Amino acid sequence: MSNKKPIAELTHCKNSFLECLSTGENILLSGSTGTLLYEKGIFINKCFEEVNISQPELVYQIHCEFINAGAKIIITNTWGANATKLKAFGLEEKSHEINSEGAKIARKAANNQCWVAGSIGPLGVRIEPWGPTSLNEAKTIFKNQASALVAGGADLFILEGFPDLSEIHQAILGIQEACALPIIAMMSVNEDGHSLYGTEPEWFIRKLDEWGADVVGIDGGNGPAPMLELIKKIISVTLKPIILYPNAGLPRMVDGRLIYMASPEYMGEFARQALLKGVRLLGGSSGTSPAHTKIMAGALRQSKAFKHTEHKITMNHSAQPVHVHTSKVPRALQSQWAKKIVDGEFVITMELLPPKGLEIDKILERAKICKNNNIDGINIPDGPRASARMSSLATACLIEQKVGIETILHYACRDRNLLGIQSDLLGAAALGIKNILCITGDPPKMGPYPNATAVFDIDAIGLVNMVTRLNSGFDLGGSSIGVPTSMSVGVGANPVSPNLETEKSRFRYKVEAGAEWAITQPVFDSESLFKFLEFSSQFQIPIIAGIWPLKSLRNAEFMANEVPGVYVPKTILKRMEKYKSADDQMQEGIQIAKELIAKIKSSVQGLQISAPLGMVDFALKLLD
């Protein structure tokens, strides 16, 4: 009788799965539970994971189909069962139940003949440094999900569908805090093999190995074929077993249904080739049915004679890291504006709105006037109050090229996704833009196109993180961009925010992310500014005060009632009301602004003066 222990006796033992790997066995995972749930009538707008508690027999049936097809690891129906994703369905309070029941269903189907892998996917929100969810918060959410899966009987974990290396790191840490079970960790890749955030495969495989994953690999992508091209790259940087878990080809819409077009035979040939190249674990993500799994199982049975020498032969422990570390440009050398900030000079900028059409001559002439009056830079807002104007980037480039004065480019997160933002920033740097003010942006509903789509992939904090990373020579995925950008990074601040504690918290995060200076919203109340300056002094970051000279009573009322983030005291409105003529109101607006400047000038490092309706000559009277 054989002395080899059956899987049944090894269930719930960490070493059982790892011991199997050490014997050289190839292991097949189950396919896409979601694909089968869809085929069996669960609509895509439903929470697939909730089916664990509403129709557990359906999930059980799917697991059994994959087991009968030859899968040796059954993946729980819990990929999106973290509290954050479940919140969209009002199910966040049921996270523990959905996960534990998901593991129990798989455990029952496995019947001690297969391992149960608790599936954990990304949170569905951006985490630090790209979003408001902190790393610790993310780790706690993953830990809670892992604990629930352990309670339900999971033997190991599988991390799938992760685009962000920092997020999968928190998932690994969360699992490791919850238990000591093995971890299969996979990053989702695009056709060129980079993560969806652009990280090179060699780098993220190294990190997954370093962080303690027991099996490392890739999932998703554009189907099996591109993954085969990546094996040599990833297998050369780790001794850990490699897993490939591709989608079953690219999906197509057929008669209103999303169909993955790779045939079972095609997936079987993929499995055979992957095994020959040294891959140890295989499965299929979206579109992979029991029919695909059955053919792949046949390929694994035929591979039992394979010896995985290629993995050992191609291992290169001396391979250099993918990253090329480059020197960050010192702040004083980033731009003329940055040097003045670093040297402690008092700076003055003029805010000019981009044109609504193609006519550029007027703003160029206004910029020339500013240059002739020794203004240090031109601020170019980016779609203020959700308006549609010439892009701030194009406007800034034209001013710098034709006038020869530096600009401060406002960049809003409202209109671009994460990849588009990175492209814009690289393009701005290539065009010579050296100063950027990172802002979140006003939502479209505030402007003339309220039905326009708001993107907001990241906010101003995430944008500062991105610029800081580019200035260090790395893209959002952590890959080297070669020569780093060298943009001076500023942020907005609102001393009169109705949610002042939130504003202070966000300001702190902006500074921690790399902000080097700040420009306030237009200030009309000196006392509010002084209180904010007292708070901000702990960060030793230069503050430039926003100044808006009121040109009329109507302008004052507009600022007081229709411009977000601006507070105009009633005392100022009353002063403007005293005068009936337009000239007198303009003079009073100038006087109010001059009095404010006199009060605050010694407490700030500069002024951003706005030119109402482009009236530069009017705004320059503040400097007389």
Low-confidence ranges of the chain (pLDDT < 50): 1-13, 254-255, 308-310, 312-325
Other beta carbons within 10 Å of 534: 10
What is the phi-psi region of residue 323: left when phi exceeds 0, alpha when psi lies from -120 to 50, beta otherwise? beta
Residue indicated by tokens 């309070």: 93
Q: Are residues 411 and 310 in the same domain?
A: no
Name residue 119's beta-bridge partners.
158
**Residue 323 domain-assigned?**
no
Q: Which amino acid, residue 619?
A: A
What pLDDT is attached to residue 447? 64
Sign of the dihedral through C-alpha 58, 64, 69, 72: positive
**Residue 367 domain-assigned?**
yes
Name residue 379's beta-bridge partners.
351, 408
Give the separation between CA 125 and CA 334, rounded to whole angstroms.
33
Residues 374/435, Cβ–Cβ less than 8 Å: no
pLDDT digits (tens, 9 = 90+) for 149-208: 999 999 999 999 999 999 999 999 999 999 999 999 999 998 888 898 888 999 999 999
Query: What's the chain's average pLDDT?
Result: 89
**Residue 143 domain-assigned?**
yes
**Residue 563 domain-assigned?**
yes
Q: Which two tokens stand for residue 114?
A: 């297969």
Q: Are residues 489 and 565 in the same domain?
A: yes
What pLDDT is attached to residue 6? 35
Do the bridges between strand 257-260 and strand 251-254 make them parallel or antiparallel, or are there none, so unpaired? antiparallel
Residues 517/493, Cβ–Cβ less than 8 Å: no
Q: Are residues 427 and 568 in the same domain?
A: yes
Q: Are residues 158 and 28 in the same domain?
A: yes
Q: Are residues 272 and 358 in the same domain?
A: no
Residues 337/488, Cβ–Cβ less than 8 Å: yes
What phi, psi does 385 have (nearest 5°)?
A: 50, 40
Buried b (16+ CB within 10 A) or exposed e, 480-503: bbeebbbbbbbbbbbbbbeeeeeb
Q: How many domains does the chain have?
A: 2
Give the separation between CA 379 and CA 376, rounded to whole angstroms.
10
Name residue 260's beta-bridge partners.
251
Q: What is the CATH number of the domain that holds 122?
A: 3.20.20.330
Q: What is the CATH number of the domain that holds 464?
A: 3.20.20.220
Q: Are residues 227 and 345 in the same domain?
A: no
DSSP, collapsed to helix, strand or coil, labels residue 25 as coil
Give the separation between CA 12 and CA 112, rounded to whole angstroms.
10
What pLDDT is attached to residue 261? 57
Other beta carbons within 10 Å of 576: 22
Range of the domain at 29: 21-314
What pLDDT is attached to residue 472? 92
Q: Which two tokens stand for residue 151?
A: 């309670």
Q: Which two tokens stand for residue 331?
A: 């702040």
Residue 444: is the preceding peptide bond cis (ω within 30°)? Answer: no
Provide Rg for the chain, Cα atoms: 29
What pLDDT is attached to residue 309? 43
What pLDDT is attached to residue 446? 67
**Residue 10 domain-assigned?**
no
How many residues in the chain? 624
**Residue 212 domain-assigned?**
yes
Residue indicated by tokens 């295989």: 282
Give the separation between CA 593 and CA 270, rounded to whole angstroms.
72
Q: Are residues 343 and 215 in the same domain?
A: no
Q: Which amino acid, residue 252?
A: R
What pLDDT is attached to residue 386? 66
Name residue 243's beta-bridge partners.
217, 281
- Put the strands of the sheet holding 215-220 in their side by side order: 27-28, 281-282, 242-246, 215-220, 183-189, 156-162, 115-120, 73-75
**Cα 96 from chain centroid (whole Å):** 26
Q: Which two tokens stand for residue 340?
A: 């003045």
Q: Are residues 355 and 493 in the same domain?
A: yes
**Residue 11 domain-assigned?**
no
**Residue 14 domain-assigned?**
no
Q: Are residues 381 and 260 in the same domain?
A: no
Q: Which residue, 397, 292, 399, is CA-closest to 350?
A: 399
What pLDDT is attached to residue 252? 58
Query: CA-CA distances (angstroms) from residue 418 to 160, 197, 341, 480, 600?
Result: 21, 9, 29, 17, 38
Q: Are residues 35 and 91 in the same domain?
A: yes
pTM: 0.76
Q: Are residues 310 and 339 in the same domain?
A: no
Q: Are residues 63 and 193 in the same domain?
A: yes
Give the separation between CA 172 and CA 183, rounded to whole angstroms.
8
Query: CA-CA distances (angstroms) from residue 584 to 64, 515, 548, 577?
Result: 84, 40, 17, 10
Give the separation between CA 284 and CA 220, rounded to whole angstroms.
8
DSSP, collapsed to helix, strand or coil, labels residue 398 as helix
